[in-house]
Amino acid sequence: MPRMEAARELVRRIQTVSSQEELGLILDDICKEMGFRYFALVHHTDLRRASPHVIRIENYPRAWAEYFVENQLFADDPIHRACLVSAAGFSWSEVSTKISMTRRQWSILENAARHGLRNGYTVPINIPGESSGSCSFGTEGNTELPPDGVLLAELIGAFAFEAARRLAPVDGIPSLVPSSLSPRQHDCLLLVIRGKTDKEIGRTLGISEETVSEYIDLLRRRYKVTKRLTLAIRAIYDGQISFIEAFAQEPPLRGG
């Protein structure tokens, strides 16, 4: 099926899960469909302390997963550190360009490679008030990253983490905004999803750039997020904007 239809179907499958076990099974299937072998959806915290509020859903090689947790590598893992300085996803080969690597961090990457995790792509998840997290997809052995899979990984990773948060709510984090968006908020978010700047949105809607910024800032506060991408994902996941209208060639605007 066309790429956009495939993306819609993958997101739909993620949005309908009812348990972490089901999410793990679906992600296992999805990552293979994208051309990957492994996935890891995790909070960057001490995973030895089991908690219903800590996300850990993965299918990494068991020996590596156990070694990583028992040796508390989350504190020094270069992938985790790179997530703190990245606004978008990145390949593992880019990590040394994002942070200053220590000898220990190089050894972590080398050890992971020996366990079959050599090439991969990670989507950082940084939500105010929560531990940082990520969704990573890895290939097997020396297999290169699938070009189309990398394009989908950014989208799938963000929606998968949001699904995990819904299934394991974090203490003190409000649920998604229940009230409907106003027509203007709806239109602004549609255009944010399509990558428009505040100035471009204002020109399209016939309002000032300052007014657009006020709308977006209000929505950020309501959803407790800072990034435009996270705001868009929350609105889609919350059902305020449908996936189909968000990615239509000409998204319908509701106006005043």
Q: Measure the CA–CA gap between 17 and 10, rounded to whole angstroms.
A: 12
DSSP, collapsed to helix, strand or coil, labels residue 41 as: strand
Q: Measure the CA–CA gap between 152 and 154, rounded to whole angstroms.
A: 6
Looking at residue 178, its pLDDT comes to: 43
Reply yes or no on domain 183-246 having CATH 1.10.357.10. no
Q: Of the candidates 65, 49, 48, 246, which has an alpha carbon nearest to the alpha carbon of residue 159?
A: 246
Looking at residue 180, its pLDDT comes to: 64
Q: Which CATH superfamily is domain 3-167 in?
A: Transcription factor LuxR-like, autoinducer-binding domain (3.30.450.80)
| Average pLDDT for runs of 10 along the chain of length 256 | 69 86 92 93 81 85 93 88 90 94 94 95 84 92 88 89 79 46 81 86 90 87 79 72 64 56
pTM: 0.69
Query: Is 147 in contact with 220 (CB distance < 8 Å)?
Result: no
Looking at residue 40, its pLDDT comes to: 96
Looking at residue 239, its pLDDT comes to: 64
Query: Domain spans of the chain?
Result: 3-167, 183-246
